[in-house]
Structure 1
Amino acid sequence: MPEPLKNLYTEALIDELGKVIAEHYPAFNQPAFKQKVFDNQWQAKELKARMTHIAESLHPFLPDSYPQSLQILKTASEQFSGFEPMFFPAFAELYGMDDFEASIDALEHMTRFSSSELAVRPFITHYGNRMMVQMQRWAESENDHVRRLASEGCRPRLPWAMALPEFKRDPSAVLLVLNKLMHDESEYVRRSVANNLNDISKDHPDIVIGMLKSRLGEHPHTDRILKHASRTLLKQGHPEVLKLFGFQNPEHVEITNLHVKESVALGNQLPFSFQLQTADNHLGQLRIEYGIDFMKANGKQARKIFKVSEAWYSESSKAVLKSHSFRFISTRKYYPGRHDLAVIVNGKQVASVPFELTL
């Protein structure tokens, strides 16, 4: 099982953090800071709680002046990178809400070395349009980390982050930011834009469909953004979206030799195979998926769809051999009993077969 992300906050990291801050602020009490971090509640804290706790633990050992503390942390943040040092922008989130200019400057600086995507969201809620105007400015930054922050920070459904229900209701302010990034040269930024649009598609599919109709073919970067942004609509088998990407009704495709193991024990792999055939000269443009109807605690099933492949197939038949893992994962709880495996082609279920999950 992979190591939990919360365990990235090691003693070595906290020691290094204390050392770096002390280089810029000699009065910083490193032993007391470390002791405060690893208190008797530490082990019970999950990832975001640990991040916040580190920021809170810094506060009593820094100057009383918020701008002075912020300057120390801005300088220190330059010596860290990756996901872990998101406690730097968390400090601005916790203690800088009343100092907009200083905090926004710090978030812009710190995101270049880590990410301020979580910390910026309370500022959006508190300052509203003023903050979204700032996001538009960030969307025009020369730095790709800052441009990504403009998109990622206002995602309506950003994982692990506080909700932005106002953007679920009306994403107009978000779209003003995203429109500035649709041709962005950075894949890092474009993927964030696509993820933001995918969030929007869950509440306002009509907006994303409208963009597909008006902007597909506009630019290679835009096309890639819109394709990735449409993944939820494609998984849902939305006919109009499938057609816009060239996936026609699969009435010419027949599924044969569908074989699924009759039962699988929790922790093991479920092998399955099938053949796609057509009487035509070629199978054509196909999006091949499979769905698992998982048994839930209430005795009903809920489907999860998994992509197999997506391509133009010049042949008249294709064999598919796959397996699905039933190993334990933290995001899903398994229940024994009947499950079903469905084969889906171009958004249409074309075959299915049951199997049993045992514990």
Structure 2
Amino acid sequence: MAEPFKNFINAELVRSAANQLQRVDARFKAKPFVARVVPQLDALELKARALCVADALADALPADFDDATNLLERALAPVGVRDDAPAMHLSGDGLSGWFLWSVGEYASRRGIDHPERALTFLHALTQRFTAEFAIRALIVAHPELVYRSLAQWVHDDSEHVRRLVSEGTRPRLPWGLQLRTLIADPSPSLPLLEVLLDDPSEYVRRSVANHLNDIAKDHPALVATWVEKHLPGASPERRALLKHACRTLIKKGDPRILEAWGLGAKFRGTATLSIAPRRITLGGAVELTLDLTSTSKQPQSLVIDYLVHHVKADGRTSPKVFKGWTVTLPARAARTLTRKHAVKPITTRTYYAGVHRVEVQINGTVVAEAEFRLAL
């Protein structure tokens, strides 16, 4: 069984990090710090553990923020010693890895009143472990100052710093503080993303794609315009970035996005969906079988997704799009596609008994449907 995520921050990690901090500055009292943190860890999940350590750091580090960040910088591992795996790098080289999530949280809180020093520190921190969570409070409190720094960081030699420009400003970063002003108006970030669009690092480009996908959830037309501008003549690397950025809009069948990717043509042919078994209980699965027959004289590029209309508590239904298939159907050809769909309890959805309708859409248009009955 895989190690639980929460154990990325564990007692051994806390003890080793405390010793590193005391090694560079005897004022840091390792034993009281460890005694405060370790007894709390078992009851906490990963993010709560990171915040718990940050609370303890705030009390254990010098009260002067510049003094504290100087101490932390001396304790950091050299640039290039970066390990995001659960076994954090804690040799004599210094701190890197998951403990630095807590360090970033500390800098985010205490640095609000010292934003320039905080940004300098986060520039160093992100080269050992991402500062994408830490920078967000500074963006909220000091947007003009932060964006001036980000405009310089897009040209930084470190791919980790360049990635922070994109990842730290994502409007809806998972686990991160939502940037409501950027959800409402993402335009401040667009010039930065444009510089990073052809970044030599795939690590950076993937972040740009995820950032654009965030924007697409609230401003689909803006992203469609972006793709229409940047897709023609794009390199393979840029095409991959833009395709990943469009994944939500492709699933939703956005007509402009489908047209941009040459997927906007209406399916020419017949489609029949069947579901077996027709009745299942929660925890079971159904098999979807889609029979396609082309009536076109030309091959057809097809993006095929399916929508499950989940029954709600009041008897109404709510659709959820699931990724199906991407195929090229030859002229006058027939093809059968199958997919197993599990209906299992998950934390993000409550299932209710009743008839669940399934619709198949091809290139954004519904072409077939069937249904199954769910019992609890």
TM-score (norm 1): 0.92
Of 322, 325, 328, the residue aligned with 2:339 is 322
Q: Which runs of 4+ in 1 moved over 6 A?
A: none
Say if 2:273 and 2:369, in contact at 8 Å, map to a contact too: no
Say if 1:261 and 1:272, in contact at 8 Å, map to a contact too: no
Task: Return the letter of the residue paired with 2:314.
Answer: N
Identity level (%): 32
Q: Paired residue for 1:16?
A: 16
* Structure 1 vs Structure 2 CA RMSD: 2.2
Say if 1:283 and 1:317, in contact at 8 Å, map to a contact too: no
Task: Return the letter of the residue paired with 1:149.
Answer: L
| Partner-residue secondary structure (3-state), 1:158 | coil
Of 148, 158, 180, the residue aligned with 1:165 is 180
Structure 1 residues 153 and 127, CA, compared in 2 at 3 Å: closer, same or farther? Answer: same
1:98-123 CA deviation, whole Å, 9 max, x = no partner? 22222111111111121111110111
Does structure 1 residue 341 correspond to structure 2 residue 340? no
Task: Return the letter of the residue paired with 1:358.
Answer: A
Structure 1 residues 352 and 283, CA, compared in 2 at 3 Å: closer, same or farther? Answer: farther
Structure 1 residues 51 and 24, CA, compared in 2 at 3 Å: closer, same or farther? Answer: same
| Partner-residue secondary structure (3-state), 2:346 | coil
Of 305, 308, 312, the residue aligned with 2:324 is 308
Q: Using the alignment, how far apart are the partners of 1:325 and 1:14 within structure 2? A: 40
Displacement of 1:257:
5.8
Does structure 1 residue 134 correspond to structure 2 residue 149? yes
1:45-76 CA deviation, whole Å, 9 max, x = no partner? 44333212211112222233322321332343
Q: Paired residue for 1:235?
A: 251
Q: Paired residue for 1:286?
A: 302
Task: Return the letter of the residue paired with 1:228.
Answer: H
Say if 1:77 and 1:88, in contact at 8 Å, map to a contact too: no
Q: Using the alignment, how far apart are the partners of 1:8 and 1:153 within structure 2? A: 21
| Partner-residue secondary structure (3-state), 2:195 | coil
Say if 1:217 and 1:223, in contact at 8 Å, map to a contact too: no
Q: Using the alignment, how far apart are the partners of 2:229 and 2:178 within structure 1? A: 30
Alignment of 1:1-359 (within 5 A): 4-39=4-39, 42=41, 45-78=44-77, 81-82=83-84, 84-85=98-99, 86-220=101-235, 221-256=237-272, 258-281=274-297, 283-314=299-330, 316-359=333-376
Say if 1:277 and 1:283, in contact at 8 Å, map to a contact too: no
1:262-287 CA deviation, whole Å, 9 max, x = no partner? 12222233222222111234551110
TM-score (norm 2): 0.88
1:321-346 CA deviation, whole Å, 9 max, x = no partner? 11112233322232222212221111
Say if 1:92 and 1:119, in contact at 8 Å, map to a contact too: yes
Structure 1 residues 338 and 127, CA, compared in 2 at 3 Å: closer, same or farther? Answer: same
Structure 1 residues 4 and 162, CA, compared in 2 at 3 Å: closer, same or farther? Answer: same
Structure 1 residues 112 and 186, CA, compared in 2 at 3 Å: closer, same or farther? Answer: same
Displacement of 1:84:
2.6
| Partner-residue secondary structure (3-state), 2:63 | coil
Q: Using the alignment, how far apart are the partners of 1:7 and 1:337 within structure 2? A: 40
Say if 2:275 and 2:286, in contact at 8 Å, map to a contact too: no
Query: Which runs of no fewer than 5 residues in structure 2 stay unpaired?
Result: 85-96
Say if 1:194 and 1:226, in contact at 8 Å, map to a contact too: yes
Q: Using the alignment, how far apart are the partners of 1:123 and 1:136 within structure 2? A: 15
Q: Using the alignment, how far apart are the partners of 1:59 and 1:187 within structure 2? A: 36
Say if 2:21 and 2:72, in contact at 8 Å, map to a contact too: yes
Say if 1:237 and 1:348, in contact at 8 Å, map to a contact too: yes
Q: Using the alignment, how far apart are the partners of 1:68 and 1:196 within structure 2? A: 35
Displacement of 1:4:
4.9
Structure 1 residues 298 and 148, CA, compared in 2 at 3 Å: closer, same or farther? Answer: farther
Structure 1 residues 13 and 80, CA, compared in 2 at 3 Å: closer, same or farther? Answer: farther
Query: Which runs of no fewer than 5 residues in structure 1 stay unpaired?
Result: none
Quick check: 330-339 or 188-197, which moved more?
A: 330-339
Displacement of 1:93:
0.5
Displacement of 1:182:
0.9
Structure 1 residues 257 and 60, CA, compared in 2 at 3 Å: closer, same or farther? Answer: closer
Structure 1 residues 345 and 134, CA, compared in 2 at 3 Å: closer, same or farther? Answer: same
